[in-house]
Amino acid sequence: MTEMIASLGSWNWLIFGFVLIGLELLAPGIFLFWLGLAALLVGGLSLVTSPSWQAQLLAFALFAVSAVPLWRHFAVTKNGEGNSPFLNRRAEALVGREFTLEKPIVDGIGTVRVDDTLWRIAGPDTPAGTRIRIVSADGVRLTVVAT
């Protein structure tokens, strides 16, 4: 068994790396990419030097383990809040804003026009023309109070 492992050369590491990166294309999740990159690094180092199979396995383990924090660092910096924190949470962006009711709230349910969109609102029965403030958002329904 050790002879088989010892006979693995740099080309095997390079092939293994490309296979892992190819599998990443079939099953995306970015995990196999980093293992493939670690295998490619070991293959590249094995072409330049002639390390023992133990050193190759140790280098692969070190590269694979160090790739995870590196990936986390880049993922966190690339996917930060950005300048649009409410991009996919429009209802939450409306909390705190005030509007005038065009139609009354009847039986605790009504609608309010925000820009060019009608939103369902819930709150105490309120006549039309009253100023309301949005206090919370639950999905696509806004909770309001009279101001």
Residue-by-residue DSSP string for 91-134: HHHTTT-EEE-SS-BBTTEEEEEETTEEEEEE-S-B-TT-EEEE
pLDDT tens-digit readout, 104-138: 999 999 999 998 889 999 999 999 999 999 999 98
The pLDDT value recorded for residue 78 is 59
| pLDDT class of 75 with cuts at 50, 70, 90 | confident
The pLDDT value recorded for residue 80 is 54
The pLDDT value recorded for residue 59 is 95
With a cut of 90, say whether residue 31 has pLDDT above it: no
The pLDDT value recorded for residue 41 is 95
Strand 131-138 and strand 98-100: pairing?
Answer: antiparallel
With a cut of 90, say whether residue 81 has pLDDT above it: no
Which domains, from first to last, does the chain contain? 2-78 (no CATH), 90-146 (2.40.50.140)
The pLDDT value recorded for residue 123 is 95
